[in-house]
Every structure is written in C-alpha cells, then in structure tokens.
C-alpha cells in the first residue's frame, strides 16, 4: 500500500501545527509600505525588503501604467520563441550599466536566477564551494547542477583557502566555483569579497556573488561588488528586482559571453515566460532613478543607523550586522516567538526567525528599516521595543 495524498498532508500539517512550525500568513489590506494594515489594525512595518520604498513609488507606478497602455499586460511567450520585447532589451542594457558589466540578463525572480545560472555552467564533473549560510535558492541551484557541493564555514577565509586548494589539487573536478551571498540576509553581515577574490584568483576558481540584499543598498546603490570596486573580478553578479528595486524579478550581470551562454542554455530563460511589460518598465525606471540620485539610498542608511543605534542604546543585541538588516537576537526559540508576538500586539510588525532558518539558540526578530520610514515611526517602534524588552527581561 502506498500513502494517500490526504493522509500525507494531514499527518504532516498536524506535525507542523503541534510543533509551532506552521506559518499562518497574514493578509495585508492595501499596499506594502512603511505602515501596513492587517485585519483592520495598523502596524509599523519592519519586515519588508522594500529597502528604498520603491514598491509604492509614483514614478514606477506611472511607468507601469504607461507600459500597460503601450505593450499590454503579458509578454506573450518565452523570449526564445516569440522574441524579446524592446522593454526587456532596454532593461537589460540599463542593468548592465548599473552594475558596471558588459551585459545582463533578466529572469522572472531572484530565485530563478540561481536555478538558471548555476546549472547552466556547472555540471557533475565540477565542484561548488558554497558558504554555509547561502540562501535556499543557491542551495537548490547547486543541487540542480549535480556538481559536488562543498560547504565552507561562514565567511571563514582559512576554510575557503583550505577547501579551494583541496578541490583544485585533487584533480577530480573540471571547473570549480565559489558562491556567496553579498549581504547575508539573516545577520546583515557583508561577504569578505576582497579576500574571496584573492583566494579564488590564486586557485583559478570562478566567483559568484548573489547580491539580493546588497543591490540598491551597498556601493551607493550599485551593490556589494561595486562597493569593493571588484566588478572586473567577479564572474557572476546576481541581483533581485523584488527587494530594493521594489518590483519583481532578478538578473545576472557579467561578461557578454556569459550572458550569451545563459540566453541559449539557462532553463528558466528558455522555458518560462519573461517579465510582464508593466513590471519591466517599472524596474527600468527604478534602476535609472538609482543611477541618477543617491537620495533614497542615503535616506535608507540614515534610518538604518538611527534604528540600530536606538536598539543598541536600549541594550538589545543586534549581532554582526553591517547593513540595514538589523536582527535583534533573543536566543531561546520560545522566548523569541513570545517577543515577536508582543511586538505585534503593540503595533510593530516583525516576525520571529528561529531554527532551522538560523542556528539553534540564536532566535531573533529581524528589522528592515527602509527609506520610506519617518523618524516618528522609528521612535514609535523603539518605544515599543523598550516596553516589551523590559516586560520580557530581554533588556533591563
Ligand atoms: C540571497 C537571495 N537570493 C535570492 C533570493 C530570491 O529572490 P526573489 O524573491 O526575487 O525570488 C533571495 C530572497 O530572499 C535572497 O535573499
């Protein structure tokens, strides 16, 4: 006898519910901005990746509406079958300029970029060295490629050097690649790119940086690779268009040859319909806006410093964060969940993040200040943090 679907679902959903692991998803009434409304109640939103507030930007909305009028609502088919819209072409040229690379290719999501790019280049004869805290989409992209996956301790350059040497000198692999997030999403720390590039150059290893949380945030907006001035040394720059850019989608930026290869070889490009016209035009507008001015980027960092300093002054532990991603580390899983619940009850929307997303005993709530928050909103949030922190003995 094989298990019926209904039995499988009942058993597993009950398990998740019984163990506090079942995530009920809230419905946001209206736009996802610095304040949100859920079930009629207003919250200060510190949970979105809408770093620059562009998800509700007037210029992006106007561009999207214009594109609907000129190009309709759908791209029609995959680009290899039905051609590339002029809007996609404009977007990819703009992205290459933004990242300082020869070319770029857009995908339907950041997740898809990692599915696409890793498996288009790496195969079973190769090895991928991967930081242990890399995002799930990198892990899945690596698995899809069938390459040997070698975990590297988080941002541990001695471990990287040792494993790079072993992989190359073993003579077992045709190609070797190192993959890292640019900015790590749970702690807000930044990859040590200058050392990474040096080690990878020494051993002839490709460098792949997924800068989902660095794009629009680091390097005056152009990302972590630009922040370190390493555009010529990093082979793959991945970015998402759903976070700082405020829309949806992802891209790979690199050499013309790499992008040409991805256009003939990467499966999400070959077999999935491309971004819709409204999204495409809104994204191009956002990227041009970031290239023209650092105003939103500066506002983001100002707010991030303000919130982090406020939390530190109150006595909270914000870990190793070097970016606007601001974890408040509580430790114990149950206490973290209670802390987040109480913050929510008091009108601050921050979710708990616990094992297995982060290591056991490092439960946290993760704050994402944006350029769209006002100082008044951040003060209100800090007052709630102080109240709830004292109530639950997280601070004295
Ligand atoms: C490092 C990293 N890569 C990729 C993604 C996926 O991006 P998207 O939401 O655009 O699919 C994320 C999203 O959280 C991420 O943090």
Residue 144 lies in a domain: yes
Residue 242 lies in a domain: yes
Give the integer Cα–Cα distance in Å for 317 and 323: 15
DSSP codes, 254-316: E-HHHHHHHHHH-HHHHHS----HHHHHHHHHHHHHHHH--HHHHHHHHHHHHHHHHHHHHT-
Residues 312-328: tens digit of each pLDDT = 999 999 999 999 999 99
Residues 154 and 245 reside in one and the same domain: yes
Residues 138-159: tens digit of each pLDDT = 999 999 999 999 999 999 999 9
Residues 197-215: tens digit of each pLDDT = 999 999 999 999 999 999 9
Pocket flag, ligand 1, residue 364 (CB < 6 Å) = no
Residue 144, phi then psi, degrees to nearest 5:
-60, -35
Residue 27, phi then psi, degrees to nearest 5:
-105, 120
Strand bridging mode 35-38 / 103-107: unpaired
Residues 29 and 169 reside in one and the same domain: no
Q: Return the residue whose CA atom lies nearest to atom 12 of ligand 1.
A: 212
Q: Which residues are catalytic?
A: 185, 213, 243
Q: Say how many C-beta atoms besides its own lie within 10 A of residue 364's C-beta.
A: 25
Residues 231 and 93 reside in one and the same domain: yes
Residues 110 and 194 reside in one and the same domain: yes
Pocket flag, ligand 1, residue 181 (CB < 6 Å) = yes
Residue 171 lies in a domain: yes
Q: Return the residue whose CA atom lies nearest to atom 8 of ligand 1.
A: 110
pLDDT of residue 23: 82
Residues 366-396: tens digit of each pLDDT = 999 999 999 999 999 999 999 999 999 999 9
Residues 306 and 283 reside in one and the same domain: no
pLDDT of residue 18: 86
Residue 183 has pLDDT above 80, yes or no: yes
pLDDT of residue 150: 98
Q: How confident is the model at residue 356 (pLDDT cuts 50, 70, 90)?
A: confident
Pocket flag, ligand 1, residue 119 (CB < 6 Å) = no
Across all residues in the chain, what is the average pLDDT?
96
Residues 109 and 185 reside in one and the same domain: yes
Pocket flag, ligand 1, residue 366 (CB < 6 Å) = no
Look at residues 257, 292, 327 and tell me which one is the last residue of a structural domain: 292
Residue span of the structural domain in which 342 resides: 12-45+295-391
pLDDT of residue 251: 98
Pocket flag, ligand 1, residue 240 (CB < 6 Å) = yes
8 A C-beta contact, residue 226 and residue 100: yes
8 A C-beta contact, residue 35 and residue 46: no
Say which residues have a Cβ less than 8 Å from residue 79's Cβ, sequence separation at least 6: 88, 269, 274
CA of 248, closest atom in ligand 1: 10
Residue 94 lies in a domain: yes
Residue 19 lies in a domain: yes
Residue 241 lies in a domain: yes
Residues 264 and 375 reside in one and the same domain: no
Strand bridging mode 148-152 / 348-349: unpaired
Average pLDDT for 268-293: 97
Ligand 1 centroid, distance to 183 Cα (angstroms): 11
Residues 200 and 215 reside in one and the same domain: yes
pLDDT of residue 195: 98
Average pLDDT for 106-125: 98
Residues 229-243: tens digit of each pLDDT = 999 999 999 999 999
Residues 212 and 314 reside in one and the same domain: no
8 A C-beta contact, residue 358 and residue 186: yes
Residues 157 and 229 reside in one and the same domain: yes
Q: Return the residue whose CA atom lies nearest to atom 7 of ligand 1.
A: 110
Q: Kindly give the interhelix angle for 295-314 and 277-292, rounded to the nearest 10 degrees.
A: 80
Look at residues 252, 271, 292 and tell me which one is the last residue of a structural domain: 292
Residue 132 has pLDDT above 90, yes or no: yes
Q: How confident is the model at residue 358 (pLDDT cuts 50, 70, 90)?
A: confident
Pocket test for ligand 1, best of 54, 116, 130, 135 (most atoms within 8 A of CB): 135
Pocket flag, ligand 1, residue 212 (CB < 6 Å) = yes
- CATH code of the domain covering residue 370: 3.90.1150.10
Ligand 1 centroid, distance to 272 Cα (angstroms): 18
Residues 4-53: tens digit of each pLDDT = 999 999 999 999 888 777 888 999 999 999 999 999 999 999 999 999 99
- CATH code of the domain covering residue 79: 3.40.640.10
Looking at the structure of the chain, the number of domains it has is 2
8 A C-beta contact, residue 203 and residue 177: no
Residues 210 and 327 reside in one and the same domain: no
Residue 263 lies in a domain: yes
Percent of the chain exceeding pLDDT 90 equals 94
Give yes or no for a cis peptide into 116 (omega within 30° of 0): no
CA of 134, closest atom in ligand 1: 1
Pocket flag, ligand 1, residue 242 (CB < 6 Å) = yes
**Token digits for 126?**
């190769």
Ligand 1 centroid, distance to 187 Cα (angstroms): 15
Percent of the chain exceeding pLDDT 70 equals 100
Look at residues 269, 292, 315 and tell me which one is the last residue of a structural domain: 292
Residues 64 and 164 reside in one and the same domain: yes
> Nearest-CA neighbor of 113 among 95, 94, 133?
95
Residue 51 lies in a domain: no
Pocket test for ligand 1, best of 107, 110, 238 (most atoms within 8 A of CB): 110
Average pLDDT for 166-194: 97
CA of 241, closest atom in ligand 1: 10
Pocket flag, ligand 1, residue 137 (CB < 6 Å) = yes
């Amino acid at each position: 006898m094989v298990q019926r679907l209904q039995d499988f679902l009942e058993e597993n959903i009950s398990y998740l519910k019984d163990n506090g692991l079942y995530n009920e998803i809230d419905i946001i009434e209206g736009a996802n901005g610095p304040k949100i409304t859920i079930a009629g109640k207003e919250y200060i939103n510190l949970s979105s990746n809408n770093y620059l507030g562009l998800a509700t930007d007037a210029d992006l909305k106007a561009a999207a509406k214009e594109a609907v009028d000129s190009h309709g609502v759908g791209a029609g088919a995959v680009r290899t079958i039905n051609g590339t819209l002029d809007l996609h072409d404009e977007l990819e040229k703009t992205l290459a300029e933004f990242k300082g690379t020869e070319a770029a290719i857009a995908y339907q999501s950041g997740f898809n970029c990692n599915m696409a790019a890793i498996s288009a280049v790496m195969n079973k004869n190769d090895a991928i060295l991967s930081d242990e805290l890399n995002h799930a989409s990198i892990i899945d992209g690596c698995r899809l490629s069938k390459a040997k996956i070698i975990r590297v301790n988080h941002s541990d350059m001695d471990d990287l050097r040792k494993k790079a040497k072993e992989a190359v000198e073993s003579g077992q692999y045709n190609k070797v690649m190192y993959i890292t997030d640019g900015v790590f999403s749970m702690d807000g720390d930044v990859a040590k790119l200058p050392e990474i590039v040096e080690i990878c150059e020494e051993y002839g290893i490709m460098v792949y940086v997924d800068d989902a949380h660095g794009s629009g945030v680091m390097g005056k907006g152009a990302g972590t690779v630009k922040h370190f001035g390493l555009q010529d040394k990093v082979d793959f720059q991945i970015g998402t268009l759903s976070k700082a850019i405020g829309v949806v989608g992802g891209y790979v930026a690199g050499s013309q040859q790499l992008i040409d290869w991805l256009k003939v070889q990467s499966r999400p490009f070959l077999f999935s319909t491309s971004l819709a016209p409204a999204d495409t035009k809104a994204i191009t507008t956002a990227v041009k806006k970031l290239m023209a001015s650092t105003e939103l980027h500066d506002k983001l960092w100002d707010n991030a410093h303000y919130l982090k300093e406020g939390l530190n002054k109150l006595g909270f532990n914000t870990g190793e964060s070097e970016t606007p991603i601001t974890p408040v580390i509580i430790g114990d899983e149950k206490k973290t969940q209670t802390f987040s619940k109480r913050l929510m009850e008091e009108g601050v929307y921050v979710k708990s993040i616990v094992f297995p997303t982060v290591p056991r005993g490092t439960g946290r709530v993760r704050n994402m200040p944006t350029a769209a928050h006002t100082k008044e909103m951040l003060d209100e949030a800090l007052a709630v943090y102080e109240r709830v922190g004292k109530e639950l003995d997280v601070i004295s």
